[in-house]
Structure 1
Amino acid sequence: MSFGHSATTEQGVQILGLSGRIDSATAAQFEAAAAALCGGSGDRVVLDFAALDYISSAGLRVVLQAAKRAKQNQARLLLCGMSANVREVFEISGFLKIIDSVADRPSALQLLAS
């Protein structure tokens, strides 16, 4: 399965929906899609992993870059919709200690609306 993504805006929140696999072969596509996010102060961004089956360290690097860019631009970044396999990768890497995550897209939108 290959990588896919879709960018939408809901309730003023930028959402990047991710699907398939993010590995060394597809990380550049993910990086290009994520680079357009967190561009301005006060931006609110959600990375939705609900349809993602796998993420490698190359994908984690892109998530970390997005989190750093969000912090530099005083934007808000949330992760959501992680399957058990994807969540385990984030837990083992320690990313969930430094990047906020919620269960699903509605929860992310509710949190960012406030």
Structure 2
Amino acid sequence: MRTILLLIASNIFMTIAWYGHLKWFEKTPLPKVILISWGIALLEYCFQVPANRIGYEVEGYSAFQLKMIQEIITLTIFCFFTILVLKEQLRWNHLVAFGFILVGAYFMFKKF
């Protein structure tokens, strides 16, 4: 559970670092936006690295599983961010694509 919580925190910072400038810094010069994003991304890494270390060494996830968990969390947070902050509409094809990723996650964790 620690891994999941750390990945959620990490991905909130990542989404802000990667996409927040589209809303909050649209008139800021690009070099300044890059530096701001790097600062936010540093916070992301402060959560991401421990999440992967704990998930791999303590909680027993494989690297493949950690990546899949991270992608699902990333897409979930990105959807909320895009709808709430960027005011973009979530369409049916986005949901279908997300569903395919969830099917992939099922197979990632399925024991054969």
- TM interval, shorter chain, is 0.3 to 0.5
TM-score if structure 2 supplies the norm length? 0.34
Larger helix percent:
2
TM-score if structure 1 supplies the norm length? 0.34
